């Protein structure tokens, strides 16, 4: 039905896409303006509550820019104080300023030759980037005194800017590389240009849709890196399969016709119909597996993961829509240019010969593949996960340099600074501010807690903060724990003490960087099992529906997991050592989830493409071994090209400016490389041979 529609009305379908892109074009440039922070936050956690309580009690902004002052030894303390006062007054006069906390009013914000102020703007935090640039350019200057901007908003603004540059650089490298690979694969410009056009159209439409959604939903700033990565990869894969199958069907029609007879319209319709019935079916099942894998990440209740899943699902939807509408229309319009040499016979010889050799020695091939995969998995024992911070930026980043200089003075090395808000409970509510209590009573409770904390061996320092200037606020304490934020001992202490009562009538809400990291880690780790289980079960269901074989479904699922484990192992080693100019350090905590959702689903594409052709051949012949040879012969070139294209699109991200983007791009490229080589060309055919007819055991479901 769709093939006939594309054949009869191709211009209408192309025009429809042009109209869609024209309608969405005004939205696309607004995407970055509408995104709201990184989204790696437990929105209702204790850390966020304490931040809000501190802001209401003392006017300390929850999202503050740190304005760091540093003076040379030649500058006197009086000159430094005068310049700080002048700068603070200038900041307070700006129309865009909301709050400025001066170090001249807070003694703990001055130390030796440095001091820092806290700054916030009236605009929403996600739109502070241009304000930060303007402030940095217009700040009053004084010889011998350096002023730098840092803090989470400044760091995030630099991360967003670097990510945008990474995307542009990756597109400039990836798209020409993809076109070159397609030219080699198809031997002509016209068939090579169809996937590129479809990919650009799908990414453009997806960007516009997500930009529109961002005005109505809270989406993470990580989204712009995901749309081109997923949209281009999937659309190019889908279009590559369709174009290749259509040319193959045209070649068969041409071979079956008289030598002097031209290809008729009915032949082209039949070829397009067979293409959409076979390759189109594979594309649909592959898209279903990808969608279900992405939906599994929604279990993690954080804006970051839900934003990435939503953006990837929109990109997937537009990729599938392009594969079912735009690609068939372009195939119809460009059919005369697709009738040349397809290269099918020549390109099918080496995969067929390879499959034959592997199945002559299946045990040896399986052993070699298993050994190589096991070696790749070994570095997983040293996998270190961490929440991204200023260290994810390049070493010459202004925000990173300023934060490291700030931390060297105001944060004790090897310790975690925490704030506690003392609250009371009424038996039904989680907590209420200590309203109605006299200041002396509040202070007595705070001092009692300080005494109890000082008896704890992990606490190195504890003090009660001055009572808030107005009534109706809780009392606060500040203390330090021995151990870095995110360390196992600090996180364990926070879990145990987070809900302890204070004198039997109140509770202690904890905040600070260490509490933030513990909450994020717990949210992710607590939901990883459900995510993995749902993705695995959903993928298994799609494979069962596609191939009616329990063994094929289980084997495909397990092989995909094995390739991911090997990719994680190599990724761990690359970033642990810092090879090839990569930023050495731990893996960002969200990256394994993203790679699992994205690379796992893309690997499922290749599995579906390959097993679909094996399944077709097996249904025709009933011979397992010849079906495997035929499947690899027809899809070997496609899978190799698809993997090369995806690597060309994602690998440039591996040398981006932001560590998290590097890890995501390189991780997906590694997973696809391993899947397209060790899995699809070595381990899978060997296992197909060893299992024989058991490959096709399964329930007799109606088709």
DSSP code of residue 416: E
Residue 67 tokens read as 């304005």
Q: What is the pLDDT of residues 248-299, one digit of tens each?
A: 888 776 555 554 445 566 777 888 888 888 888 888 888 887 888 888 888 8
**Helix 129-138 and helix 152-186, axial crossing angle in degrees, nearest 10:** 120
Q: What is the DSSP string of 465-480?
A: PPPPSSSS--EEEEEE
Across 16-20, 220-224, 346-350, 619-623, which has the greatest mean pLDDT? 16-20
Cα→Cα distances 487→33, 194, 571, 626, 660, Å: 35, 51, 22, 55, 20
Cα→Cα distances 508→56, 364, 451, 456, 571, Å: 17, 61, 14, 16, 40
Task: State the Cα–Cα distance between residues 89 and 76, nearest whole angstrom.
Answer: 20
346 CB contacts (<8 Å, ≥6 apart)?
none
**Helix 223-256 and helix 591-621, axial crossing angle in degrees, nearest 10:** 10
Task: State the Cα–Cα distance between residues 567 and 651, nearest whole angstrom.
Answer: 13
> What is the predicted pLDDT for the residue at 148?
94
> What is the predicted pLDDT for the residue at 554?
86
Residue 507 tokens read as 């509770």
Question: Among the listed ranges 74-78, 114-118, 469-473, 658-662, which one has the minimum average pLDDT value?
Answer: 469-473
The predicted model gives 140-144 an average pLDDT of 90
Residue 118, beta-bridge partner list: 66, 101
DSSP code of residue 64: -
Task: State the Cα–Cα distance between residues 633 and 567, nearest whole angstrom.
Answer: 26
Phi-psi region of 76 (alpha: psi -120 to 50; beta: other; left: phi over 0): beta
Place of tokens 């993995």: 532
Q: What is the pLDDT of residues 358-414, one digit of tens each?
A: 888 889 999 999 999 999 999 998 888 888 888 888 888 899 999 999 998 988 888
350, with CB counted inside 10 A (0-12, 13-18, 19+), is middle
- Give just the sign of the alpha carbon dihedral 589, 594, 596, 599: negative
Across 184-193, 338-347, 566-575, 644-653, which has the greatest mean pLDDT? 566-575
Cα→Cα distances 531→91, 229, 534, 537, 688, Å: 46, 22, 5, 10, 29
H-helix or E-strand spanning residue 418: strand 415-424
| Pure H helices in 385-512 | 398-410, 439-454, 488-497
Q: What is the pLDDT of residues 45-97, one digit of tens each?
A: 888 888 888 888 887 777 889 999 999 999 999 999 999 999 999 999 999 99
Assess whether pLDDT exceeds 60 at residue 38: yes
DSSP code of residue 142: B
Place of tokens 């020695």: 361
Question: Are 617 and 604 within 8 A, CB to CB?
Answer: no
199 CB contacts (<8 Å, ≥6 apart)?
178, 231, 232, 235, 236, 239, 322
> What is the predicted pLDDT for the residue at 464?
87
Q: Nearest to residue 328, comparing CAs of 288, 287, 268? A: 268
Long-range Cβ contact pairs of 26-31 (< 8 A, separation 24 or more): 26/208, 27/207, 27/208, 27/209, 27/211, 27/212, 28/204, 28/207, 28/208, 28/211, 29/211, 30/211, 30/214, 30/215, 31/207, 31/210, 31/211, 31/214, 31/223, 31/224
Q: What is the pLDDT of residues 220-259, one digit of tens each?
A: 888 887 888 888 888 988 898 899 888 888 877 655 555 4
Residue 378 tokens read as 């070994």
What rounded mean pLDDT belongs to the chain? 83
What's the whole-model pTM score?
0.81
> What is the predicted pLDDT for the residue at 267?
75
> What is the predicted pLDDT for the residue at 263?
57
- Give just the sign of the alpha carbon dihedral 584, 588, 589, 593: negative
Task: State the Cα–Cα distance between residues 74 and 143, nearest whole angstrom.
Answer: 10
Domains of the chain plus CATH, in order, are 1-36+187-343 (1.20.1640), 65-150 (3.30.70), 411-518 (3.30.70)
451, with CB counted inside 10 A (0-12, 13-18, 19+), is exposed
Q: What percent of the chain has pLDDT over 90?
A: 26
Task: State the Cα–Cα distance between residues 701 and 703, nearest whole angstrom.
Answer: 6
Burial 656-681 (b: 16+ CB within 10 A, else e): bbbbbbbbbbbbbbbbbbbbbbbbbb
474 CB contacts (<8 Å, ≥6 apart)?
53, 57, 421, 422, 423, 433, 434, 442, 509
> What is the predicted pLDDT for the residue at 429?
36
Residue 292 tokens read as 């279900």
Q: What is the DSSP string of 163-183?
A: HHHHHHHHHHHHHHHHHHHHH
> What is the predicted pLDDT for the residue at 325?
92
Task: State the Cα–Cα distance between residues 304 and 301, nearest whole angstrom.
Answer: 9
Q: First vs last Cα of the chain: how many Å apart?
A: 19
Assess whether pLDDT exceeds 50 at residue 433: no
Residue 615 tokens read as 């399944």
> What is the predicted pLDDT for the residue at 662?
86
Task: State the Cα–Cα distance between residues 647 and 653, nearest whole angstrom.
Answer: 10
Assess whether pLDDT exceeds 60 at residue 425: no
Q: What percent of the chain has pLDDT over 70?
A: 91
- Number of helices (H), then strands (E), belonging to the chain: the values are 23, 12
261, with CB counted inside 10 A (0-12, 13-18, 19+), is exposed
């Amino acid at each position: 039905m769709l093939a006939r529609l594309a054949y009869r009305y191709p211009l209408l379908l192309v025009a429809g896409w042009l109209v869609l892109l024209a309608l969405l074009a005004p939205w696309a440039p607004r995407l970055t303006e509408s995104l709201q922070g990184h989204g790696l936050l437990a929105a209702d956690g204790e850390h966020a509550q304490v931040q809000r309580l501190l802001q209401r009690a003392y006017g300390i902004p929850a999202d503050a820019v740190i304005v760091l002052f540093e003076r040379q030894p030649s500058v006197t303390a009086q000159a430094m104080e005068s310049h700080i006062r002048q700068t603070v007054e200038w900041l307070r006069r700006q129309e865009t300023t909301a709050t400025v906390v001066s170090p001249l009013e807070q003694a703990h914000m001055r130390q030796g030759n440095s001091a820092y102020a806290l700054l916030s703007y009236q605009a929403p935090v996600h739109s502070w980037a241009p304000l930060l640039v303007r402030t940095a350019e217009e700040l009053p200057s004084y010889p011998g005194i350096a002023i730098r901007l840092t803090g989470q908003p400044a760091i995030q603004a630099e991360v967003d800017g670097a990510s945008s540059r990474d995307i542009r650089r990756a597109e400039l490298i990836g798209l020409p590389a993809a076109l070159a690979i397609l030219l080699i694969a198809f031997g002509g410009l016209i068939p090579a240009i169809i996937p590129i056009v479809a990919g650009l159209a799908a990414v453009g439409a997806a960007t516009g849709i997500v930009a529109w959604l961002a005005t109505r939903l809270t989406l993470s700033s990580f989204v712009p890196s995901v749309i081109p990565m997923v949209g281009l990869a999937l659309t190019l894969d889908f279009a590559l399969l369709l174009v290749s199958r259509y040319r193959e069907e045209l070649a068969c029609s041409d071979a079956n016709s008289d030598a002097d007879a031209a290809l008729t319209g009915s032949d082209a319709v039949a070829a397009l119909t067979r293409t959409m019935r076979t390759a189109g079916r594979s594309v649909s099942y592959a898209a279903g597996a990808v969608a279900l894998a992405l939906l599994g990440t929604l279990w993690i209740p954080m804006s970051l993961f839900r934003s990435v899943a939503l953006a990837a699902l929109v990109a997937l939807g537009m990729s599938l829509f392009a594969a079912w509408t735009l690609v068939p229309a372009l195939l119809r319009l460009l059919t005369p240019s697709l009738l040349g040499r397809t290269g099918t016979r020549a390109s099918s010889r080496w995969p067929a010969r390879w499959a034959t050799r592997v199945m002559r020695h299946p045990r040896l091939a399986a052993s070699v593949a298993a050994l190589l995969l096991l070696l790749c998995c070994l570095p997983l024992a040293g996998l270190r996960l961490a929440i991204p911070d200023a260290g994810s930026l390049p070493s010459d980043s202004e925000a990173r340099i300023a934060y490291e200089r700030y931390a060297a003075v105001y944060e004790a090395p090897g310790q975690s600074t925490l704030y506690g808000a003392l609250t009371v409970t009424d038996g039904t509510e989680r907590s209420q501010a200590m309203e109605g209590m006299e200041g002396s009573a509040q202070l007595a409770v705070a001092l009692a807690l300080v005494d109890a904390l000082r008896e704890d061996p992990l606490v190195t320092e504890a003090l009660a903060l001055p009572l808030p200037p107005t009534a109706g606020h809780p009392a606060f304490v500040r203390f330090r724990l021995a151990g870095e934020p995110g360390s196992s001992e600090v996180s364990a202490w926070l879990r145990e003490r987070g809900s302890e009562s204070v004198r039997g009538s109140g509770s202690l809400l904890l905040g600070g960087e260490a509490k933030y990291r513990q909450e994020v880690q717990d949210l992710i780790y607590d939901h990883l099992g459900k995510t993995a289980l749902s993705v695995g079960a959903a993928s298994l269901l799609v494979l069962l529906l596609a191939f009616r074989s329990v063994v094929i479904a289980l084997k495909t699922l397990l092989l995909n997991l094995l390739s991911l484990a090997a990719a994680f192992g190599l990724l761990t080693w690359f970033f642990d050592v810092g090879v090839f100019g990569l930023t050495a350090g731990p893996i960002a905590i969200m990256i394994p989830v993203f790679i699992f959702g994205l690379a796992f689903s893309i690997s499922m594409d290749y599995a579906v493409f390959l097993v679909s052709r094996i399944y077709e051949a097996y249904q025709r012949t009933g011979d397992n071994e010849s079906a495997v040879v035929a499947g690899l012969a027809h899809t070997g070139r496609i899978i190799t090209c698809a993997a090369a294209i995806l690597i060309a699109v994602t690998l440039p991200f591996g040398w981006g400016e932001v560590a998290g983007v590097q890890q995501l791009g390189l991780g997906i490229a590694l997973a696809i490389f391993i899947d397209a080589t060790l899995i699809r060309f070595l381990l899978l055919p060997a296992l197909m041979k060893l299992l024989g007819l058991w490959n096709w055991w399964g329930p007799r479901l109606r088709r």
